[in-house]
């Protein structure tokens, strides 16, 4: 079975460092010195609710989450 997980993305072109995601989920997001947020690449299932809250609050609509199917077979 291929492992199914989610991939979290913050678009660095869209992000302006408003940092609401960091307020909502400091355990998932950080902001760099050039004011672009980044998130954990593969959030766990119990982090998904907080990720969704950050997506819904992001002023620029910069955060997204996608299915990330990784097939371990060669």
Partner 1 sequence: MTDLADVNYFADEAITQNPYEYFDFLRMQGPVTREPHHGVVAVTGYQEVMAAFKDHATFSAVNAIGGPFPPLPFEPVGDDISELIEAHRHQFPIAEHMVVMDPPHHEKARSLLAKLLTPRRLQENEDYMWQLADHQLDTFLDRGRCEFLADYAKPFATSAIIDLLGVPAEDRGDFLAALGAGAVKHDGDRVGALDGEPVGLDPLRYLDDRFAGYLTERRREPREDVLSGMATAGYPDGSIPPIAEVVKPATFLFAAGQETVTKLLSAAVQTLGDHPEYQQQLRDNPKLIPAFIEEALRMHSPTKVDFRLVRTTTTFGGVELKAGTVVMLCLAAANRDPAKFDDPHEFRLDRKNVREHIAFGRGIHTCAGAPLARVEGQITVRRLLERTRDITIDASVHGEPGRRHYDYVPTFLLRGLTELHIEFTPKDN
Residues 27 and 51 sit within 8 Å (Cβ to Cβ): no
C-alpha 9: how far from its chain's center? 5
Residue 69: both structure tokens together: 């199917």
Q: Which is nearer to partner 1, 13 or 73 (by Cβ)?
A: 13
Q: Which of residues 43-72 bind partner 1 (CB under 8 A)?
A: 53, 56-57, 59-61
Q: Which is nearer to partner 1, 34 or 45 (by Cβ)?
A: 34
Least distance (Å) between residue 72 CB and partner 1? 36
**Which residue carries 């990330």 as its tokens?**
68
Number of residues that bind partner 1 (CB under 8 A): 17
């Amino acid at each position: 079975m291929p492992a199914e997980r989610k991939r979290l993305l913050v678009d660095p072109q869209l992000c302006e460092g408003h940092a609401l995601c960091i307020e909502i989920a400091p355990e998932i997001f950080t902001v760099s010195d050039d004011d672009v947020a980044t998130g954990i690449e593969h959030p766990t299932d119990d982090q998904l609710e907080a990720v969704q809250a950050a997506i819904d609050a992001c002023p620029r609509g910069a955060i997204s989450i996608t299915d990330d199917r990784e097939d371990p077979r060669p």
